A and B are shown apart, each in its own frame.
Chain A
Amino acid sequence: MNSPLIPEFPEEQNLLLGEHALGLLDPEREAEVRAWIERDDNAARMALRWQQHWLSVSDRLPPEPPSDSLWKRIDASLVRLKQSSATRDDAARHDAEQTSASTKASWLLRWLSGGLGLGLGAGLALALVMQMGPFSPSAPLEGTSPEVATQTPDGDAQRMVAILQTLEDPGTPTWVANVTPSGGLQLTPKVSIERPTDRAIELWTLTDPQEGPRSLGLVDPIAGIELSAEQIGSMSPGQLLEMTLEPEGGSPTGKPTGKILAIGRLVDLNQRDS
């Protein structure tokens, strides 16, 4: 069943997807439409059809030769991606074994002090891990919407959420990340995050410590954001999510460069329930 934001009649649906193709939808509706496209083949067909129509117009633009460095960057990212893929199974097994606080601290430290170059002390990172430890879905953290923690897909499907917290005040949830039944990720702000107008908030995840953080794109600090399964890739319990303050347009290096605004770890609620 579609969201109330999705019209019932095909002609209206096609118009909505026409506005989507133009990028005219507000963030909430855009997220709904992207999720709809992901789950509904007919919507996906209509959306691709609009895009195909518009290609014929954008093709009128004279091609811009890319700089020599662009392919080199893509090639380098591809090498990292393939390395990550080769070790993904090992990493997944590794993640599953992350049961001791000391191991968790080691993993997080590697990201925080190695991947981010922040030089955080072991004590702070360990404290953070402990703050991010088990919580009961039946007793949500203060300020956290209960329905997020209890939003369940069908049957035994995996239910994963992450409570993102600040380093300064790890007891206060700032964002809730909820894995949707279709495998996307919905991020909802719980408090206002201050952001200079010329800076951006970038979302990152870490699946493989050797690969380091991977960008999931820029985040609207007020409306939140919903990422499709296509955008976010596979997710697993224990996976870290983090938001950093970056220059306008996002990190210039492909890795986090700015202050950590919020950080948290995906938790499988089914495992917590059992």
Chain B
Amino acid sequence: MPAQKPSVSPPDAESFDHASAIEACARGDEAAFRSLYDLESGRMLALAMRLLNSRDQAEDAVHDAFIKLWSNAGQYRRELGNGRAWLFTILRYRALDQLRAQGRTPRGDSDALDTLADLLANPEAAADDSQTAHQLSDCLGELEVPRREPILLAFFKGLTHEQIAEKLSAPLGTIKGRIRAGLKLLQECLSR
């Protein structure tokens, strides 16, 4: 495959036509495939490293996600949703399956909540977000910490209910209830 111009700046992810690029991959368009890689591999790797806490394993997950993207691009249907979300779903499936097979042992996440709270509170980052992004960030900000914490630990660290309960020193049923209640509030907030 010929080398392509690398690294599109991250904000372009908002305007890039992921759906068309995925459809082009389905037609065997390697340039579109490379464009997706250039645009998204850094973001995908960042998320995978949060989940897997290992650069090597995260790169494995990103590798597998892109190969699945190429293999399954023909199955993508733009009428069902955002192409970028579809791509990241593939990545999360792979990363979470890896975690599950490992027993999903939480490791090295002692600073996770502080960092994530900082990320959510960063107005500069929010300025680059889409309307959808604003809504979810706002909605998360509206949640009380006891409901937001377990949700963020699940999303970014892939922790199970049990692991979250242990980490936060709370009963399992309490954690399950807080997450459900938090999701319900997010659902209501997002539909406003």
A interface residue numbers (CB < 8 A to B): 11, 14-15, 18-19, 21-24, 27, 34, 41, 44-45, 47-49, 51-67, 69-71, 73-75, 77-79, 81, 197, 200-201, 215, 217-220, 229-231, 233, 248-250, 252
Contact = CB atoms under 8 A, between A and B. Distances in A.
25 contacts: A44-B81, A48-B82, A54-B136, A54-B155, A55-B88, A56-B129, A57-B119, A58-B47, A59-B13, A59-B125, A59-B129, A64-B46, A65-B45, A71-B37, A74-B67, A77-B67, A201-B101, A217-B94, A218-B100, A229-B75, A249-B56, A249-B98, A249-B102, A250-B60, A252-B56
- Interface residue range, chain B: 35 or more
Query: Is the contact region of chain A dominated by helix, strand, or loop, or is it mixed?
Result: helix
Given A24-B179, A51-B88, A78-B1, A65 B98 contact: no
Closest 3 CB pairs between A and B? A56-B133, A48-B81, A63-B42
B151 interface: yes
A206 to B, nearest CB: 15
A66 B59 contact: yes
Given A51-B88, A56-B137, A249 B57 contact: yes
B50 A61 contact: yes
B80 A59 contact: no
A254 to B, nearest CB: 8
Interface of B: 1, 10, 13, 30, 33, 37, 41-43, 45-47, 49-50, 52, 54-60, 62-64, 66-68, 70-72, 75, 77, 80-82, 84-86, 88-89, 92-94, 96-103, 119-120, 122, 125, 128-130, 132-137, 140, 151, 154-156, 158, 160-161, 179-180, 183-184, 186-187, 190
Contacts of A23: 92, 96, 99, 154-155, 158
A58 B88 CA distance: 10
Contacts of A65: 42, 45
Contacts of B132: 52-53, 56
B42 A66 contact: yes
Contacts of B70: 78, 81
Contacts of A71: 37, 41
Contact of B1 (A63, A75, A217): A75
B179 A14 contact: no
Contacts of B180: 15, 19
Contact of B155 (A52, A57, A197): A57
A49 to B, nearest CB: 6
